[in-house]
A = this chain, B = another copy of it.
Amino acid sequence: MANRLLKFLLAVDGRPRRKASKMGKPPATLGDIAKSLGTSIGTVHRALHDHPGVSPATRARVLQMARNLGYRPNLAARYLSSKKTLRISVNTLQGTTSFWDEVRAGIREEAAGILLENVEVEFRTSPSLGEGEEEALEAAIAAKVDGIITFPSRPETLRPWIRRASRSHIPVVCVATDAPNSGRLGIVAIDTLASGAIAADLMGKFLGGRTGSVGITVFDMGITEHAEKYGAFESTLKSFYPHLELLKPIEDHDVEREAYRKCRKLFEERTDLAGMYVTTEASIPVLKAACDAKVLDRLTIITTDLFPDLVPYIRSGRVAATIYQRPRAQGQMALRLLHEFLAEGGRRSNQVSLAPHLVMRGNLDFFLSRQSQESASKNGQNGQEARRLVHDLA
């Protein structure tokens, strides 16, 4: 092949492959700061870390000089010398479906993949919604962990605890649900608007030109995410499929009996019901109700998430599609966000909105094989053994 360098190819410089070769001066070190200030490394270090025993005057000078020189700590050196591990508390739910297991798996994978192997994950898992969540947060704070990943099932209740953590300089990242105005560092969740909108769009298309009403279940309209999802579903339906009537949301509060009862009632009353969008995890009771009310085969049903009990419904086509909220990816991103913050590597976007995945009969197996890849290690363990898991960002 022609050896001439094609002109459209980036010319590659042959300078020695050292960092400084980029022509930018080598990054400033503590020593540099100390030298140019005529002080010692120890002092500079203390100043930069707000450690006691530095006069305000010198501290200020150090800070200024650090800024001038564009000082950025060398993480390799830091880790090598200190060997502190970052302890991260993961406060989540046991859960009724595999959702939270997957989130935890994602967190473990990501933690295992960190090069500096300096992350230790502690799981504090609540047995059910609202049971011991505050205590768990309190315990994490008391244990002086370096960071917290949590699912604020009831944002208002947990908010004061998150505030408390922040005040103790413990960054908190929320997963799946946000806790607004809590001072949390970041939030990782599925984009609610994208979810609601795609569900509506699919619903409309699946129903073809048929008219009728469409039902929707949510956890609680008081939670921002759920209200937003409903809103997106509603507005999309309205603008593209105005012939479909959206009914008032059914709130199930993650209580199976409540979901069943309310939906059963709906199914029996609204004979014009054509479709149903279940935004919560509690899709099985809804499906049961539809079955018992003998409307299951008449309805176009779109659910949320993916777990074993749902599989037969999808496979048989009785659930037309499910909006998969990618728990694994949520866990991974949450840990990444937190770790990057802790490692001082840089703060990126603190609000990560993931696009949901669409699962239907056709691609169901793809997602199932993905879930089963996480063969090893269940939750609750200290995650040390979860060294090398098969990994991807689904």
Identify the A interface with B (CB < 8 A): 1-6, 8-10, 12, 14, 17-19, 21-22, 24, 74-77, 79-80, 83-85, 87, 113, 115-118, 120, 122-127, 132, 134-136, 138-139, 143, 191, 193-194, 197-198, 200-202, 205-206, 208, 232, 236, 240, 317, 320, 329, 332-333, 340, 343, 345-349, 352-355, 357-358, 360-363, 366-367, 370, 380, 382, 384, 387-394
Contact = CB atoms under 8 A, between A and B. Distances in A.
B333 A388 contact: no
Contact of A122 (B5, B10, B357): B10
A343 B115 contact: yes
Contact of A194 (B85, B191, B366): B366
- Residue in A201, A208, A388, A389 whose Cβ sees the most chain B Cβ within 10 Å: A201
A393 B329 contact: yes
A389 B79 CA distance: 25
A380 B10 contact: yes
A10 B382 CA distance: 9
Contacts of A357: 355, 357
Contacts of A332: 393
Nearest to A94: B8
Contacts of A17: 84-85, 87, 120
Given A77-B80, A240-B317, 4 more contacts: A8-B126, A10-B124, A198-B363, A353-B366
Given A17-B85, A384-B22, A349 B200 contact: no
